[in-house]
Structure formats: structure tokens, C-alpha cells
Amino acid sequence: DANALWGGRFGSGPAAIMQQINASIGFDQKLWAQDIAGSKAHATMLAAQGIISDADRDAILAGLDQVAREIAEGRFTFTVENEDIHMNVESRLKEIIGEPAGRLHTARSRNDQVATDFKLWVRDAFDRLDTDIQALQAALIDRAEQFPDLIMPGFTHLQTAQPVTFGHHLLAYVEMLGRDRARMRDARKRLNECPLGSAALAGTPYPINREATAAALGFDRPTANSLDAVSDRDFALDYLAAASICGTHLSRLAEEIVIWCTSQFRFIRLTDAFTTGSSIMPQKRNPDAAELVRAKVGRVIGALNGLLIVMKGLPLAYSKDMQEDKEPVFMADETLALCLAATTGMIRDLTPDPAAMRRAVEAGFPTATDLADWLVRSLGVPFRDAHHITGRIVKLAEEAGTGLAEVPLEKMQAVHPGITDAVYGVLTLEASVNSRTSFGGTAPARVREAVAAAKQRFL
Ligand code: ARG
């Protein structure tokens, strides 16, 4: 049979395959609470404007509440015949309250309805994510507070560069996640304009009050252009872009966890709760959760690319292509929440191995820059020359198979006669990190301050 809600001019119903490709109820039922909230705001406004009677409004509101209860309690049967969440709700409303249900869609289209519902959903998703990201920041800050002076190698090109502290390294991720939260707050603010009342694309002749529905749904104001309002999916792209950047941060941390867990590095150990064994190699402890975070973030970035490609060719205003906006966002949201929770778990679970970190950092002449800086400060050598002199001393140490601090003074003086005993004071790892006191630097005193500041800024 033809569709009861839009089938007036249709002689027969859709082909089975038409119904299958057209129906979105399989995924957009996630929007049920937003759809009912939007309909209640719309009906309330219609009555306030004298467009429907108060009696019809009351019937509609009571009926929508019943639909909401049925869905919440799992007693609602979604059908593909009703295509999407909007028509599933409305046709059930009609079964419950009869004729007044037909007045709900006055001065409204599914085009402004779906844009409104989806914005409400994405807005909630931003709020949930903010809490999840903050929980990971809290875990990182806790662990940083525990290890403000634990020395490990800092890398560039994954080659030992200069000693840093483990607390400082963890706090780097707290900053990234802080920017992720700010990006999401910013996107949330930008999406908070209400499309409802834009109708199909051109607005409506009914004397509606768009400020009222916008306010009732917690939006800051109505959208300013009806064509834009029904064709805009920037908010979904903003969501996926912010989620992709956040995911990229999680993936980089996951990659570090994988590296740190190798027997070559052994910087950290994860407990049995966050590792798995191999079915053939009994010695293995694999950091699967980190590997899966690293991999799953690929889906989120894929979702962003997918929706960009859907949107890039669409003329104004609504096209059915836009129905493809929801699954990537729902999937990305689920994935990111899972990755955040797993990462928070790993950060709380890990135990660093200070001896392994020290062995690794000592192997790489990490205080070479400190030696060069000493030549500049104590002897007035230009930095470029100091760099060269230090390079020659590094070569001596390398040939002797020792660290810089073990190169005898006479050998150093053979490279530069002005070098004195005092140089050994800057060649230890502790001296190196303690000296990095510039704001944002790795000196333990600075890291302790940064922990306190991070608590203020983020928790
Ligand atoms: N299910 C549709 C979507 O998600 C709702 C809007 C349908 N509008 C239309 N004119 N067919 O995009």
C-alpha cells in the first residue's frame, strides 16, 4: 500500500528494494528522544500561536509522552514501512490519539525536523565526550603527579634527544586533550541555532514563533536562513573533525604505549588486566588495547572523510544523500568513547620501570646539549662552535664506550683547553632536567607546578 503519511498521490507502495535503500529507521531510532522533544516544543508553540487548539496540543503532548514511554521501555515496534524515526513516532501517535496527530506536522517538514533532532543529539554527544575526555585528563594528571622527577629519554626522530621526566611527558597529552575539549565546546556553541520552522526549505506561511521553539529546546536562537538550515551538516562534520583530532591524540599515545611495552624499551609494564597472551608463544604479553585504540581511530577518521564526500556535491537544499549523515557520527561516537575509556584504563594501570628508562637515556649522550650550553655560558664560546666541540667529545665517548660524564678532563681539554672540572656538574641527567626551568619546561619543580595548574584548568 501507499505510505499513509505521504502516499496521497501514490497508487502503490514502494518496491521491497526501494524500501530497503530508503529506510533509515534501522539507525535513526537513536534519535527518538530528540524527535519527541522537538515535536513537543513544536506543538506547544503551535497552540501558543493559535495555529492548533489547546485541546489538540494536550492530546499531542500526552500521546508523545506515551510513545516515549513505550520506546524507553522497549515496547515499541519500529517498522521499515514507516521509514524513519519521525514517521514511526507520528504514526504511533496517530494510533494513540487519532485525528489531532495529523495537526502536529503543520508548519514543519521532516527536513527541519531531522536537522533539529540531529543537532540535539550531537550536542548531547559533545557533552558526554567532554566528561570522558576529562576523565582521561584526570588519570594522566594523577600519574604525572606521581612521577614529576622520574627521568626518561625525550626523543626527536625517535632518537634519544634530551632527558625529560615521565610526568612532563604525560602532561603533554593533558594539553592535547584540553584543546580537544575546547574544540568541541566551540563546535557546540556554533551548532546551537535551531533549524525548526525552516520547514521544507523556504520557511512557512503560518505565524509561527521560532524564538519560542529554539528557547524550549535549549538553542541560543533560530537559524537565520531556511535554505541553509535544512542543508547544513557542518555540525556533524565539526563533530567528526574534532573526534578525529582527539582520536589522533589517543592513537599517538597508544603507539607510545606499544613502544614502551616492548622488551627493547620496557619503559612501562601493563598488568594482566590490560594485556593478552599469545596462543603459541608463552612469553608474550601483548598490549592489545593500545593496538586496538590505534587501529579503531582509523574508523573515526574514515567517518569524517565519508561524510565530507557525501556533502561535497550536494546542491541546496535537502537531498536524501544527507540521510547518510547519521551512521558515521553514531559509529564515531561509540568508537571514540570506547577508545577514551580503554586509554584511561591503561594510564591508570601502567607501572613505569625507572631502571629501564635510565639505561635507555644514558645510552644516547642525552646531556650533549648541556655540555654545549656550558661552553657557551662558562667560556663564552659561540653556540655553533660549542656544538662542534661537543660533537668531538661525543665521538671520544662513543669510541671509549662510555657516557659523556666519563670522558677524562685531559681528553676534553685536548678538544678545548678552556674546559674545567666544573663541566661535570652539568653532565648528569638530574642536572640536565633540573636546569630546564623555563616556563613549560621539564624541570621537576616546573612539572609539579604544571600538575597543580592542570588541576585548576581542567578538573
Ligand atoms: N530520514 C530522513 C533523513 O534522515 C528525514 C528527512 C526526510 N526528508 C525528505 N524530504 N524525504 O534525512
Residue with cell 668531538: 392
Residue where the block lists cell 524515526: 85
The answer on pLDDT for 21 being more than 70 is yes
pLDDT at 13: 85
- Answer whether residue 78 shows pLDDT above 90: yes
The CA distance from 157 to 154, in Å, is 10
Q: Which atom of ligand 1 is nearest to the CA of 28?
A: 4
Residue 125: what pLDDT? 98
Ligand 1 site, residue 112, Cβ cutoff 6 A:
no
The β-bridge relationship of strands 193-194 and 221-222 is parallel
For 271-294, b where at least 16 C-beta lie within 10 A, e where not — what string? eeebbeeeeeeeeebebebbbebb
Ligand 1 near 318 CB (within 6 A): yes
Distance 92 CA to ligand 1 centre (A): 18
Looking from the CA of residue 24, the nearest atom of ligand 1 is 1
pLDDT(72) > 90? yes
* DSSP code for 199: T
- Give exposure, 142-165, as e/b (b: 16+ Cβ within 10 Å): ebbbebbbbbbbbbeeeebbbbbb
Ligand 1 center to residue 110 CA distance, Å? 6
Phi/psi at 236 (5° precision) = -70, -40
Q: Which atom of ligand 1 is nearest to the CA of 326?
A: 4
Q: DSSP H helical segments within 23-165, as ranges?
A: 25-28, 32-48, 54-72, 85-97, 110-146
pLDDT at 279 over 80: no
pTM to 2 decimal places: 0.94
Segment among 32-46, 91-105, 282-296 with least mean pLDDT? 282-296
**Secondary structure of residue 266 in the 3-state scheme:** coil
Q: Is the pLDDT of residue 431 over 90?
A: yes
Alpha carbon nearest to ligand 1 atom 7, residue: 110
Which atom of ligand 1 is least distant from the CA of 320?
Answer: 12
CA 254 distance to own-chain centroid = 14
Residue 323 CB neighbours (<10 A): 18
Which amino acid is located at 416 in the chain? H
Going by C-alpha positions, the residue among 403, 454, 408 that lies closest to residue 432 is 403
Give residue 282's pLDDT band: very low, low, confident or very high (50, 70, 90). confident
Mean pLDDT of 100-106: 97
Outline where DSSP puts E strands in 266-391: 268-269, 351-352
> Tens of pLDDT along 157-189?
999 999 999 999 999 999 999 999 999 999 999
Report the DSSP beta bridge partners of residue 351.
Answer: 269
Give the closest residue (by CA) to ligand 1 atom 4: 323
Taking only the tens place, the pLDDT of each residue in 300-316 is: 999 999 999 999 999 99
**What pLDDT sits at residue 363?**
86
Q: Which helix (H) or strand (E) holds 386?
A: helix 383-400
Ligand 1 centroid from CA 393, angstroms: 71
Which residue is catalytic, options 157, 263, 279, 438? 157
Cα 84 to Cα 68, 87, 90, 91, 200, distances in angstroms: 16, 6, 10, 11, 16
* Residue 154 scores a pLDDT above 90: yes
Rg (CA), the chain: 31
Alpha helices in 153-287 (DSSP H): 166-191, 210-216, 226-231, 234-261
What's the CA-to-centroid distance between 319 and ligand 1, angstroms?
8
Find the 244 Cα to ligand 1 centroid distance in Å. 26
Q: What is the pLDDT of residues 193-221, one digit of tens each?
A: 999 999 999 999 999 999 999 999 999 99
Q: How many CB atoms lie within 10 A of CB 97?
A: 21
Q: What percent of the chain clears pLDDT 70, i.e. is strictly above it?
A: 100
Q: Which of 320, 329, 330 to mutate to test the pocket of ligand 1 (most atoms within 8 A of CB)?
A: 320
Cβ-contact 113, 86 below 8 angstroms: yes
> How far is Cα 337 from Cα 124, in angstroms, rounded to an integer?
13
Residue 324: predicted pLDDT: 98
Ligand 1, closest atom to CA 318? 10
Rounded CA-CA distance 419/374 in Å is 9
- pLDDT single digits (tens) 340-386: 999 999 999 999 999 999 999 998 888 999 999 999 999 999 999 99
Tell me if the bond preceding 452 is cis, omega within 30° of 0.
Answer: no
So what's the pLDDT on residue 313? Answer: 97
- 96 three-state secondary structure: helix
121 lines ligand 1 (CB under 6 A): no
Q: For residues 77 and 404, give the distance between their C-alpha atoms in angstroms, rounded to a whole number.
A: 74
Residue nearest to atom 3 of ligand 1 (CA): 323
Tell me what ipTM this predicted complex has. 0.96
Cell 489538540 -> residue: 56
380: left (phi over 0), alpha (psi -120 to 50) or beta: left
Pairing relationship of beta strands 351-352 and 268-269 according to DSSP bridges: antiparallel
Please indicate whether residue 111, judged by its CB atom, sits closer than 6 Å to ligand 1. Answer: yes
pLDDT of residue 6: 79
For residue 37, pLDDT beyond 70: yes
C-beta 323 within 6 A of ligand 1: yes
- Res 1 pLDDT > 90: no
Determine the distance separating the centroid of ligand 1 and the alpha carbon of 114, expressed in angstroms.
Answer: 7
Q: Report in angstroms the alpha-carbon separations of 213 from 76, 217, 218, 316.
A: 27, 6, 9, 24
Torsion of CA 10, 15, 17, 21, to 10 degrees: 10
Q: In whole numbers, what is the pLDDT of the chain averaged over residues?
A: 96
Active site residue 157: yes
Rounded to whole angstroms, how far apart are CA atoms 320 and 318? 7
